[in-house]
Amino acid sequence: MGDGFLSRRVALITDTKLHLGPDLARELARSSHDLVIGEPGEGLADELRQTGVNVEVVNGVADLGDPASVARLVEAALTRFGRLDAACIRTGNHPVLTGDFLDSTLEELRWVSRGNVESTFHALQALLPPMLRAGHGQIVIVTSATGAKPSPKLPLYSATRAAANMLVKNVALAVADRGVTVNAIGTNFLDYPWFREATGSNDSEVRKAVEQNVPLKRLGKPEEVAHFCASLLDGRSCFQTGQFFSLSGGWSD
């Protein structure tokens, strides 16, 4: 293990099977990051290694409501590489049903809170200590654009996403003078399997109707979100913290 290996930046990504994860891993690999990746899609780890980056794979960490999940990823980074410079944590329990608030149950509130708020809490608790000790680090928590705009058909989901965004902002300001930045990004109308299935957008006519809700009149691409997220993680743009960025084609102003 030479000095070049030790001097490379190390980034952690929790979910590299879908959404922005695979494309973000590729972006950070291109900018000379070694990677700790959770739950990678088939062939992704080998693809990344072929570009010359060192990759540590951690499986069994999909449940971010479990405080051990991100802690295991952090431990893997420190054990393998001895450092952790950046982390992207994609949180979320997506609701199965939509409907009026009065049809909601306390059990549903607790379920979405676990995936949306508790997951953010656990991630920050695991990531911050080693970064604060090092005196530098960049964290991005992926929430949802529904946390920036009321969504009457998803009242519990939207509310818990907003709570996660506010937690990120508070924590970011608490550590802002210690070299660590913490930001959140949230998507909506993203062209990936879960969103298409949830909205019926695999049907071309339904997709056209869904796209009419987006000011840009199209669905976003995961690689677009990954490119934006990489700019908050690659060590070259560190003058923003405590921010929430909505990547939703103009849907949330």
Token pair of 162, please? 């907003």
Looking at residue 139, what is its pLDDT?
Answer: 98
Rounded CA-CA distance 26/105 in Å is: 40
CATH architecture of 3-247: 3-Layer(aba) Sandwich (3.40)
Indicate the SS3 state at residue 246.
Answer: strand
Token pair of 22, please? 């695979």
Cα-based distances in Å from 28 to 49, 52, 232: 12, 12, 11
* Residue ranges of domains in the chain: 3-247
Question: Do residues 129 and 171 touch, judged by C-beta distance below 8 A?
Answer: no
Question: Do residues 20 and 90 touch, judged by C-beta distance below 8 A?
Answer: yes
Burial 228-252 (b: 16+ CB within 10 A, else e): bbbebbbeeeeeebbebbbbbbebb
Tens of pLDDT, residues 43-100: 999 999 999 999 999 999 999 999 999 999 999 999 999 999 999 999 987 655 457 8
> pLDDT tens digits for the chain (253 residues)?
333 444 689 999 999 998 999 999 999 999 999 999 999 999 999 999 999 999 999 999 999 999 999 999 999 999 999 999 999 999 987 655 457 889 889 999 999 999 999 999 999 999 999 999 999 999 999 999 999 998 888 899 999 999 999 999 999 999 999 999 999 999 999 999 888 998 899 999 999 999 999 999 999 999 999 999 999 999 998 999 999 999 999 998 7
Looking at residue 191, what is its pLDDT?
Answer: 93
Question: Do residues 127 and 137 touch, judged by C-beta distance below 8 A?
Answer: yes
- Where helices occur in the chain by DSSP H, the ranges are 3-7, 21-30, 44-49, 68-81, 106-113, 119-134, 155-175, 193-199, 204-211, 222-230
In sequence order, what are the residues at sequence separation of 6 or more whose Cβ sits closer than 8 angstroms to the Cβ of residue 84? 10, 12, 36, 74, 77, 78, 127, 130, 131, 134, 137
| Residue that has been written with the tokens 């990759």 in this structure | 55
